[in-house]
Amino acid sequence: MQNLTDEQIVDLFFCRDQQALAAAQKKYGKLCHSIAYGILGSREDAEECLNDALLKMWESIPPNKPERLAAFLSVTVRNLACNRREAQRAEKRGGGAFCEALSEFENTLANPENPEHVIETVVLTEALNRFLGSLPAETRVMFVLRYWSNFSIQEIAEKCCVSQSKVKMTLFRTRKALRKLLEKEEIL
């Protein structure tokens, strides 16, 4: 199968042609798998999230007609992976902590529930990597422990040998700086 444009793939979905699934997986499968794997750390779980995302696309196109197929699919995979990770963590750590950490970003990043308005994952990833690279080591560690490893404020304070209020303030200021950078680069 040749490389199809997003528009051609969406047209296949509208025609209910099952080649649409294969084309979407061929074009964006690696990207989506890496997103899910980054969240879950499991190849099998990442593969299941990709398959579930393709099924959701099949169910939602039509009537939806996404302009950015990569954003639509990657956000769907991300949401599925986050939900799966939340379910896994609920059993291990008392549940709800991952949602709490992500809710701190509500006013920083675009709405993850609306794939049409989410910036392409690659652009956002590059901006986040530049941002993290510019942070002092302690701030970067706190940020990654909170939003990647899902540590509680108390756990971060203990690991970094600082007070919980310092962790909260550092994370608050870091989110604010990230939002400012994303606005400056016109990503938000």
List strand residue ranges (DSSP E) for the chain, in order.
Answer: none
Helix count and strand count (H, E) for the chain: 9, 0
For residue 73, the model assigns a pLDDT of: 86
The yes-or-no verdict on residue 180 having pLDDT over 70 is: yes
What count of residues does the chain have?
188
The yes-or-no verdict on residue 11 having pLDDT over 50 is: yes
Q: Phi and psi for 23 in degrees, rounded to 5?
A: -65, -45
Cβ contacts of residue 12 below 8 Å, gap of 6+?
4, 19, 20, 23
Domains belonging to the chain, first-starting first, are 1-94 (1.10.1740.10), 119-188 (1.10.10.10)
Question: For 4, which DSSP code?
Answer: P
| pLDDT tens, residue by residue, 112-155 | 554 544 445 556 777 787 888 898 989 988 988 887 777 889 98
